[in-house]
Amino acid sequence: MPADIIEYQILGNDLQAVMITLDPGEAAVAEAGAFMYMDDGVELATKLSMSESKGGILGKLFEAGKRALTGDSFFITYFYNRSNSRRTVTFAAPYPGHVLPIELSDYGGTLMCQKDSFLCAARGVKVDIAFQRRLGAGIFGGEGFILQKLSSDNGQGLAFVHAGGTLIQRDLAPGEVLRVDTGCVVAFTQGVDFDIETVPGIRNKLFGGEGLFYTRLTGPGKVWLQTMPFSRLADRIYAAAPQTGGAGREEGSILGPLGRMIDGR
């Protein structure tokens, strides 16, 4: 079904929320746990499928399983305006950063996102999976084999994704290359090629503190980046916390865990 046409307002500065206004009969979908508050007359319903069309239970389970692979919850939550007047429902970001509104029709009807970035959307927008076609990008690219793909049946619909820290937007010309820390990619349009390359030099790999790999994004297309991936924030908090059992605090060097060498955190 075509996505509902909704209005919205971004609330706050660094700990943002998005307030969606629903006309009678309209609905929004959200990742489980994103809900903050809603007006009287809005009803909540938890479902396996993001499609309103009828389907078998196996198909719905398969869709829910694919969504879980991208880091989202197994269930999706719908918020229906069952009243006779306009009502609002508000969703909060999970950690400090910014909410990015995306109208899919502005970017060819499809947007590729990192795992866990989806926050909410108009009814009719679908969250699916997109496998990395390169083995190297899948294993070492920071986002794994699977990215989120936001789309809709008619190529239209408003979706909201979350970025940690400050949000930076870059427009890449055809053939233009941007090298990015593996966790800093939020989203990119379909024309952008996603790949990885190794950090040059053994000394840089072992002692540079930036891990072993970059993400390489090649235009044409638009790219959104975040200054503070949640994994990096979590690592900083963990490193600053009191340690027991002899766990080290070194990060991004030969003294740190192998995993941090690989992904640059």
Percent of the chain at pLDDT > 90 equals 44
Residue 23 lies in a domain: yes
Q: How far apart, in whole angstroms, are the C-alpha atoms of residue 133 and residue 16?
A: 34
Residue 247 lies in a domain: no
* pLDDT interval class at 146 (50, 70, 90): confident
pLDDT in tens, 170-204: 999 999 999 998 789 999 998 999 887 876 656 55
pLDDT in tens, 120-131: 999 999 888 776
Residue 242 lies in a domain: no
pLDDT of residue 255: 46
Residue 153 lies in a domain: yes
Q: In 3D, which of 98, 56, 48 has the Cα closest to residue 74?
A: 48
* pLDDT interval class at 245 (50, 70, 90): low
**Residue-range definition of the domain harbouring residue 43:** 7-230
Q: How many domains does the chain have?
A: 1
Half-sphere exposure of 147 (CA within 13 A, CB side): 29
- The CATH number of whichever domain residue 23 belongs to comes to 3.60.160.10
pLDDT of residue 111: 94
pLDDT of residue 147: 82
Name residue, tokens 């910014």.
Answer: 98
Residue 249 lies in a domain: no
Q: How many residues belong to the chain?
A: 265
What mean pLDDT is predicted for residues 91-106?
93
* pLDDT interval class at 211 (50, 70, 90): low
Residue 59 lies in a domain: yes
* pLDDT interval class at 61 (50, 70, 90): low
From residue 192, alpha-carbon distances to 143, 174, 221, 224 in Å are: 15, 9, 5, 11
- Choose the most confident range, by mean pLDDT, from 163-172, 200-209, 238-247: 163-172
Q: Which residue has the higher pLDDT, 49 or 239?
A: 239
Query: Is there a contact between 128 and 51 (Cβ–Cβ < 8 Å)?
Result: no
Pairing relation of β-strands 42-47 and 76-81?
antiparallel
pLDDT in tens, 68-78: 555 556 578 89
Residue 149 lies in a domain: yes
pTM of the model: 0.77
What mean pLDDT is predicted for residues 5-33?
93
Residue 241 lies in a domain: no
